[in-house]
Amino acid sequence: MYLSRRSFVRALSGVAAAAMLPFPLQALASSDGPVVKCRLGSLKGSVVNGVHVFRGVPCGKNPYVGAQRLAAPEFVDAWSGTVEAVTPGDIPLQASRDVPGGVTGGGDCLRLNIWTPAPGATKCPVMLWIPGGGSTNCDNNDPRFNGEAFARDGIVLVTANYRVNVDGFLKIPGVPANIALRDMTLALRWVQENIAAFGGDPDNVTVFGQSAGATHISSLLVSPPARGLFRRAILQSPAALAQYDPETADKAAAQLFAFYGIAPTREAVAAMPFEKLVTYTKFVGSKSTDDAWADMTGGNVAVFKPWFDGEILPMRPVDAIREGQTKDIDILVGSAEQEWRNYTVPGGAIANIGPDAAQRLIRSAHLDPDLVERYRKAGRGDTPGELFTAMQGDFIFRMPANKVLESQVAGGGRAWAYSFAWKSPVVGKSGAKLGAAHSCDVPFVFKTTEASKKNLGDTPPQALAEAMHSAWVSFAKNGNPGWTPFDTQKRMTMRFDEKS
């Protein structure tokens, strides 16, 4: 249940300052800019467009050095003086998206960014954003996640990072399970301990995220260490069935260890140069068309996933939700209507995909053999690429989102459903339009469409941004986004488009 928040925090945190390792940053004298004194020390931010902003706020110790590597996260040490919080922190270790074979991140990344109407304001609702990135990438400094619009509407907005790929998700003997989920929980605990100093109400926290971020929120909803740390949750395009049982987690890890050519030990992983570690991209790519891997993973071929460890994630989230474990948490869930076009349209793959792709999905997920034809008759596509794209998007995102909604209602909880229908006019290499693709909804929620012209074009509808952003704000403030709650008979859903 959500009650007894502070007792949960005290029992779980164990964060007495005297027990912490040395704080790695130098404290600086404060001059101008807003100054906030949180539990561990003072922070100086900046004022941007009338909003008080604190970037790179220290939360967890650097997870890539010394004893912190492949370990459960720990809060940073207390400090004296005032620390500058005006520069974004590092990002988690991941393969570079700009330099083939390159490395990015891997430093002091467990930092938070905070936007607030004004430090010390009375109990503003709090929203904590968990970014997506397929569990291989994560960047809470992405300009799409600028929280100014939320702060102007009376919300304290926080963005968090978590370890991804090998460090965050791989099942490694001798390493704490589900490190990424532990990182997210640490951020939620930090919010409970400190957000009041920024004007936030620790008793009114909404955690929200998109794609992998939403997927992992489905785990946080039922994770015992996260219980009591948030009141509401928004899941945007969650692959909410993307978790491993322990045996499959072992099999997946064994194949990756063999790919690296190392022993399955903490020491062997920690000894790998970062440049070798990020070659996981070749392994991930090879599994996208591997029939045996698809069969082992039940059709969701993503490599890095949380696993049921009995402590951080006791069981499959949707099953725990159906049991009523989240009936005291309000949930808003939805997906985009053409999710997988984000992956097949930009590079032109949608024009080259053959019938084998859909058949592989049908075999591995044990779907009806006539499903392709049923999609065709339903107007979901004509070519093999279009039909596979529609099926894959539904399988990975839309149906798991529906499963969360159905499970929440069956467990006695409240849920609201939405569908993102606006179709981006941006054209991919084959001439196909991007459409209502995965991730296109994010800048509308944050009202950062100017930062997303590559995916949205030059004139995305601002009325849509106003509608989605206002609904998210309303949900965070009072638990109601403004439309009829979901039930399994009428299945009422808000369809967001130029006219919603």
Q: Containing H/E element for 114?
A: strand 111-116
Looking at residue 119, its pLDDT comes to 77
Residue 162 pLDDT exceeds 50: yes
Select which of 74, 337, 339, 406 is catalytic: 339
CB 59 within 8 A of CB 160: yes
Looking at residue 181, its pLDDT comes to 98
What token pair was written down for 423? 């179709």
Q: Is 373 a catalytic residue?
A: no
Length of the chain: 500
* Residues 32-71: tens digit of each pLDDT: 789 999 999 999 999 999 999 999 999 999 999 999 999 9
What token pair was written down for 49? 């467009």
* Residues 83-110: tens digit of each pLDDT: 999 999 999 999 999 998 899 999 999 9
Would you place residue 122 in the very low, low, confident or very high pLDDT band (cuts 50, 70, 90)?
A: confident
Residue 13 pLDDT exceeds 60: no
Q: Is 211 a catalytic residue?
A: yes
Q: Is 364 a catalytic residue?
A: no
Residue 29 pLDDT exceeds 80: no
Residue 14 pLDDT exceeds 80: no
134 half-sphere exposure, CB direction, 13 A CA radius? 14
Select which of 52, 216, 438, 469 is catalytic: 438
* Residues 362-416: tens digit of each pLDDT: 999 999 999 999 999 999 999 999 999 999 999 999 999 999 999 999 999 999 9
Looking at residue 1, its pLDDT comes to 41
Residue 7 pLDDT exceeds 70: no
Q: DSSP string covering 27-83, please?
A: PB---SS-EEE-SS-EEE-EEETTEEEEEEEE-B--TTSGGGTTS---BPPP-SSEE
Would you place residue 118 in the very low, low, confident or very high pLDDT band (cuts 50, 70, 90)?
A: confident
Q: In the predicted model, what is the mean pLDDT of the chain? A: 93
pLDDT, average across residues 178-193: 98
Residue 158 pLDDT exceeds 90: yes
Nearest to 154 by CA among 129, 123, 131, 130: 123
pLDDT, average across residues 308-329: 97
* Residues 403-448: tens digit of each pLDDT: 999 999 999 999 999 999 999 999 999 999 999 999 999 999 999 9
What token pair was written down for 458? 């030059």
Q: Containing H/E element for 376?
A: helix 371-377
Residue 125 pLDDT exceeds 90: yes
Would you place residue 316 in the very low, low, confident or very high pLDDT band (cuts 50, 70, 90)?
A: very high
Q: In what order do the strands lie in the sheet with 82-84?
A: 35-37, 42-44, 82-84
Select which of 84, 193, 211, 237 is catalytic: 211
Looking at residue 120, its pLDDT comes to 73
DSSP 112: E
Looking at residue 27, its pLDDT comes to 35
Instruction: Give me the percent of the chain exceeding a pLDDT of 90.
Output: 92
Looking at residue 26, its pLDDT comes to 35
Would you place residue 296 in the very low, low, confident or very high pLDDT band (cuts 50, 70, 90)?
A: very high
Looking at residue 32, its pLDDT comes to 79
